[in-house]
Amino acid sequence: MTRLNRDAIMAKNSNFHKAKRAKKDEFYTQLYDIENELRHYRAHFRDKVVYCNCDDPRVSNFFHYFAYNFRLLRLKKLITACYKNQQMDMFSQNDAERAIWLEYTGTENETAIPDVEDIGVRHLQGDGDFRSAECIELLKQADIVVTNPPFSLFRDYVAQLIEYDKKFIIIGNKGAISYREIFSLIMEGKLWVGNTSMGRDLLFDVPADYAEYLVQNKKEGSSYKIVDGVVKGRSPSIWFTNLDHKKRHEEMRLWKRYTPEEYPKYDNYDAIEVSKTNDIPMDWDGAMGVPISFLDKYNPEQFDLLGKDTQFVDKLGKFYINGKRKYERLVIRNKCLQT
């Protein structure tokens, strides 16, 4: 194979992977999942400006949820913006590709359902990228940001929210917990897991061509599921927030007692292995290694989060028991047993 052909193939593969990555960023959150999570934050929304900055209002259920529940939530204002959105048919017959942003401050009609006249539609000068100067100006108006941001830009997205000191409820890949930047925020108490269980499947609406790709190339039940004949993208996704919710303060009931047989120590770190969150011993006051799913039940008043396995050991950043490497672990300590 000539170098020219090899370079052409590499360029083609690179473009293919970029296209796949872009499609994965077009995962549209189901209304049921939005309602199920956001009902736990209703008190936070009163008299607030909500910004959904990654949301095409033609297909965004975030826009649908906030617009139709504007009175119930007693919102002050709803702003939405999206990346390179074609103008909505409901607002314009123009098919030119232009990024837009919408502003909604409620409706006076009896049904409380917004119509075209109620929603201010404005054109953006740029492409609607959340990092652009004009979208940052919209962000500055917001009290709370709620959306499903592009997974491929999750680090940048969260960093921007922290930089501008915004409250947020967003969806991200579960693997983002392991990102150094994200885990640091969890350690600092600046970000935590939402109310929805980390073990619950989140399914997403996907573009027709990507749905076809999933069926032809991926395994059903793993990358997608078919619900009522419709292909839904599946992703190991969870909610992240910095808004307080009741579940975060629920005390975990501990019932098991420590035995060296059931809770062996790691070869390379002075802590015991707890393979299931529900098996945390009630009487162990030292360090414990627990699964990442512990964050689902993490109450900062009950437990100290000391760090992640990679912060304590060098060899591949993992803990070992009898020479066998363990899966990713968090290190915690029972705060109630400390003197």
Q: Which two tokens stand for residue 196?
A: 């929805």
Please check the confidence at residue 22 and state whether its pLDDT lies above 70. no
Q: Could you tell me the end-to-end alpha-carbon distance of the chain, in angstroms, rounded to an integer?
A: 69
Q: Give the C-alpha distances (Å, rounded to integers) separating 60 from 48, 67, 80, 125, 174.
A: 20, 11, 10, 22, 22
Please check the confidence at residue 12 and state whether its pLDDT lies above 60. no
Instruction: Choose between 102 and 21: higher pLDDT.
Output: 102
Q: Which two tokens stand for residue 279?
A: 């098996």
Structure confidence at residue 250 (pLDDT): 96
- Report the pLDDT averaged over residues 248-254: 96
**112 — pLDDT class (breaks 50, 70, 90):** low
Is the Cβ–Cβ distance between 116 and 128 less than 8 Å? Answer: no
CA dist 223 and 297 (Å) reads 26
Beta strands in 8-68, from DSSP E residues, in sequence order? 28-29, 49-52
* Least reliable range by pLDDT among 30-34, 44-48, 238-242: 30-34
225: left (phi over 0), alpha (psi -120 to 50) or beta: beta
How does pLDDT run across 117-155, given as a tens digit for each residue?
667 778 888 888 999 999 999 999 999 999 999 889 999
CA dist 59 and 154 (Å) reads 21
Please check the confidence at residue 223 and state whether its pLDDT lies above 80. yes
Q: Which two tokens stand for residue 119?
A: 């929603």
CA dist 317 and 309 (Å) reads 6
Beta strands in 87-134, from DSSP E residues, in sequence order? 100-104, 119-123
**27 — pLDDT class (breaks 50, 70, 90):** confident
How does pLDDT run across 169-197, given as a tens digit for each residue?
999 999 999 999 999 999 999 999 999 99
CA 133 to chain CA centroid, Å, is 24
How does pLDDT run across 52-76, given as a tens digit for each residue?
998 877 678 999 999 999 999 999 9
CA dist 43 and 72 (Å) reads 11
Structure confidence at residue 206 (pLDDT): 85
Structure confidence at residue 122 (pLDDT): 82
Structure confidence at residue 204 (pLDDT): 87
pTM of the model: 0.85
